[in-house]
Amino acid sequence: MTAEALAAEAAEVLSDAGVEPDISVTFDEVTADVPAASWVASLAAVRDGLHMRFFDWLTAVDQLEEGFDIVAHVYDPLGRRRLLVRTRVPATGPSLATATGVYRGAAWHERETCEMFGIDFPGHPYLVPLLLPDGFEGNPLRKDFVLASRAAKSWPGAKEPGESEREGAPSRRKMQPPGVPDPSSWGPRAPGEPTDVVEGGDDA
């Protein structure tokens, strides 16, 4: 089945479930944008109507003042078809109904997304920290999260092309790829140029 055919089928299945999706195809990847209020209904519809019974992953994308995109990737093992289901929640007080009632595998991913982005998933059976150490403050995958190392010491490298081209700044030594000898140690030499090669004497 082509991506365009899957897009048409997804639009029909979601519409039959009372959802108004925005379907797009990019590089043969089908994405269904759905309202946040229809998130759980949309996942249930594609699971049953499109046989997308394998839950692959869920995460968020910080869109700054526009809010957070929540993206779930689901898969049809028999038809070998995949679909991205996406919605958006506001930047202030982000919250989205849990998908664990549709896909039990979403539990781990929602815990990680809550911890890293600060997004609440009401109805989750065990929404507790998963990866960060006890007492950690903040959500490290938000774009406004300040890295402590950058606050203590400025980044020594270039952030944008040409940014590190300061007057008088030393240039880095150009490194040869692994296994390529230094050009100064091989090749033709000028007459009288010293060499490190020790030539064998006459045994006669």
Residue 185 lies in a domain: no
Q: Is residue 35 within 8 Å of 20, Cβ to Cβ?
A: yes
Query: What's the pLDDT at 200?
Result: 47
Residue 149 lies in a domain: no
Which residues does 43 contact at the CB level (< 8 Å), separation at least 6?
72, 74, 85, 99, 102, 103
Helix boundaries (H) for 79-195: 106-117, 148-152
Would you give per-residue pLDDT tens digits along the chain (204 residues)? 799 999 999 999 999 999 999 999 999 999 999 999 999 999 999 999 999 999 999 999 999 999 999 999 999 999 999 999 999 999 999 999 999 999 999 999 999 999 999 999 999 999 999 999 988 889 999 998 887 665 556 656 555 555 555 555 555 555 655 555 565 655 555 555 555 444 444 444
Residue 20 lies in a domain: yes
Residue 124 lies in a domain: yes
Query: What's the pLDDT at 171?
Result: 54
Residue 152 lies in a domain: no
CATH of the domain at 45: 3.30.460.80
Bridge partners for 76 per DSSP? 81
Beta strands in the chain (DSSP E): 22-26, 29-33, 54-62, 68-76, 81-89
pTM: 0.73
Which residue has 């007057």 as its token pair?
Answer: 167
How many Å apart are CA 34 and CA 9, to the nearest integer? 15
Into how many domains does the chain fold? Answer: 1
Distance from the Cα of residue 185 to its chain's centroid: 44
Residue 137 lies in a domain: yes
User: Domain range spanning residue 19?
Assistant: 3-143
Residue 202 lies in a domain: no
Residue 104 lies in a domain: yes
Bridge partners for 25 per DSSP? 30
